[in-house]
Every structure is written in C-alpha cells, then in structure tokens.
Amino acid sequence: MAENEIFIIPILISVAVSIIIGLVFSKIYKGNDKVDEGFELNYFKLSYRRKMIRTAMLFPFIVILLIIVYFFFNWSLIVFVSFALLLLLGTTVQMLYNYNKWKKEAGRKM
C-alpha cells in the first residue's frame, strides 16, 4: 500500500461518518424547539443565531490549529494553504448560512 493511501483512507472514513452522523441528527432534531439561551452541548438543538455565534467562536481555535499544523507537520506550502483556505472558507460559509437562516427566521416571527 502506498504511503499516501495510508492517510487518505482514514480521512475518507472520518468524512463519511461525519456526514452520516450530521444527517441523522438533522433528521432527529428537525422541528424540535431550539435553544436560544444558556449552554447547550448539542449543536443540532441550537437556534440559527446560536449556531452562528458558536461558529464565530471557532475562528480563534482554527487559527491556533493552523499554526500547530504549519509548525509540526511537514506539508508543502501549497497543501498547507489549500487546507487553510478550505477550513476558513467552510467555516465562513457555515457562519453566513446560519446568519441568513437566523434573519429569515426572525422575519417570520414578526
């Protein structure tokens, strides 16, 4: 087995499991009351406003993660920049999506 395959297979399995778990929890908590105040560990129980806030709170952790990856992993610059852009772009898209859904939801309640 090639050295690249050793790393790719666990990553693909992790992504597949994450997607399946996300879809299952989305179905379970769809239509349930959402938490907008206080602490809630389960992301799927949060309102869109709280999801946006939690996603925004991830940015400092993402920067720390990127610093750790840069110094401790022997990745080429193009791989590191691609990883960083993908991570930051994904988080930004998630935050904007939750913001838009929050504003639409707030408009319907008025």
38: phi > 0 → left, psi -120 to 50 → alpha, else beta; which? left
Domains in the chain: boundaries: 1-30, 35-109
Tens digit of each residue's pLDDT (9 = 90 or more) over 79-92: 889 989 999 999 99
Tens digit of each residue's pLDDT (9 = 90 or more) over 2-18: 555 666 777 789 889 99
pTM, two decimal places = 0.77
d(CA 46, CA 53): 10
Tens digit of each residue's pLDDT (9 = 90 or more) over 23-78: 998 888 888 888 888 888 888 889 999 999 999 999 999 999 999 989 988 888 89
Asked if 64 and 76 touch (Cβ cutoff 8 Å), the reply is no
